[in-house]
A = this chain, B = another copy of it.
Amino acid sequence: MRPGPASSGAAPRLPRDGAFRTVEAVSYFDHNATSPLSAAAREAWLRANDEVWQNPSSPHRAGARARIRLDAERKKLAEVLDADPDRLIFTGGATEAASAVIAHFARTLPADARIVVNPTEHPCVLEAVRASFEPQRIAWLPITANGVVTPKAVTEMCHSISDTRSGRVGAVVVMAANNETGVLQPWTELAEVCRQERVPFVCDASQWLGKLPAGGLGEADWSFGAAHKFGGPKGVGFLQRAADASGFSIRPGGGQQRGHRGGTEDLPGIAAMVAALRDAEQTKVLHEDERLRWREQFERKLLTSIPGVRVVAAEVERLWNTVSLLLPHGENTRWVARLDQRGFAVSTGSACATGKEGPSHVLAAMGLSPEEAKRVIRISAGWDTTQENWTALRDALVAVSTEVRPANNVISI
């Protein structure tokens, strides 16, 4: 194994062009933004580039070997997901998959059909929905104060829309786990409800994959993920299409992937993604209970150490790696900077939202005020994060809490 993210993710080397300074070791708590390449993925990528770098569409035997290998990788991925390999399409990531699925519904759904969406979805889903559907065709699912979509809410939404004279539900879109809060959705039950209602269920599994067992995801009609969230390379992902969407196409091109997506397949990236996911499934997810204990211990001790701190969605099941922390005072950007100086990389929220105006849509949907949302930081560990890393982060948070004060410095005496 290469040095894990908890100890900087990699041995810092001075780039030869000198443009980038070496960095002190950083305890990396931003895995929901991205994870470093796993050893398994690295090896698979290099091997594929040595052995099967040819174009899978080429007519010679080397091309045929690449073609066979591509099918083999698809089957391996299908095994992990309990999915039908024929329904798996390799993509350039989760955002591409999300865009393509939503565009597909916009193209194929009848004009009176509405798309039912969880309001805490990732921006790549929300923006695709807003770009493809008029506001009156989007039905926002109610969520609990903890950000959970209940099966009952989906059932009721489906019935309420179907009861209107001209309405029907075109699809239900709910992620498996939230990127900002780690909140787990009951996607198995949601998939079952959608099956009963005969409505396609779309599940963004980006944050679930590699952290919790992927088995059963094949049950969703549509699901997708991104390799770099679980130790695979960036720029690779997959999409599981619905069984009845055999004509689905992400884009035209040279007929690759049975016409589902034009463009030469990135076989080394695909092999690395599948290697990373299998590695996570076979050697990592079984440690979930222990890692959950570490996170819970971190949270418990932190709540007693920093008065007024709160864990967002504390009452519900969340990813073992994620803590969304509502701080008692000071803007989150100041906390992030102070923690960074102390050697801890945490985030203000979704990495995507960094630098953008406005507070998190996820926290807003969960009822936090804009002022509160600006006091939230996201902590997301990796499999290499140790219990000591968690303890050190807690100590750092306690230290920073005495440095970061409200602007007007009103302290009760």
B52→A340 contact, CB < 8 A: no
A263 to chain B: which residues have CB within 8 Å?
A: 92-96, 124
A128 at the interface (CB under 8 A from B): yes
Instruction: Label chain A's interface by main secondary structure.
Output: loop
Does the CB pair B30–A53 fall under 8 Å? Answer: no
Q: Determine whether A127 belongs to the interface, using a CB cutoff of 8 Å to chain B.
A: yes
Contacts A55-B34, A235-B235, A345-B60 known; A252 to B124 CB distance under 8 Å? yes
Contact with B along A1-37 (1 / 0, CB 8 A): 0100000011111010001100100101010011011
Contact: B351 with A58, CB < 8 Å?
Answer: yes
B36 touches A58 (CB 8 A): no
Does any Cβ of B come within 8 Å of A310's Cβ? no
Q: Are B63 and A265 in contact (CB under 8 A)?
A: no
A215 at the A/B interface (Cβ < 8 Å)? no
CA distance A53 to B235 in the complex (A): 12
Contact B36 A55 (CB under 8 A): no
Per assembly, the copies of the chain total 2
Known contacts A52-B20, A263-B92; is A57 also within 8 Å of B352 by CB? yes
For A228, give the chain B residue with the smallest CB separation.
Answer: B264
**Contact A252 B63, CB 8 Å, known A33-B57, A34-B55:** no
Query: Does B264 lie within 8 Å of A93, measured CB to CB?
Result: yes
Decide yes or no whether A269 CB sits under 8 A from chain B. Answer: yes
A256 (CB) vs chain B CBs: closest residue: B352
Bound-complex Cα distance A266 to B139 (A): 33
Size category, A interface: 35 or more
Contact B59 A13 (CB under 8 A): no
A255 sits at the interface (CB 8 A):
yes
CB pair B354 A63 closer than 8 Å: yes
Contacts A20-B65, A50-B11, A131-B252 given; does A267 touch B57 at CB 8 Å: no
A338 to chain B, nearest CB (A): 11
Looking across the interface, which residue of chain B has its beta carbon closest to that of A52? B20
- The 9 A-B residue pairs with the shortest CB-CB distance, nearest first, are A254-B352, A235-B266, A127-B252, A95-B263, A92-B92, A33-B55, A234-B266, A10-B50, A57-B351
A-B contact pairs, 17 of them (CB 8 A): A9-B50, A9-B54, A19-B72, A20-B69, A23-B62, A30-B55, A37-B268, A57-B351, A63-B351, A95-B253, A95-B264, A122-B254, A123-B255, A127-B252, A233-B266, A254-B351, A255-B353
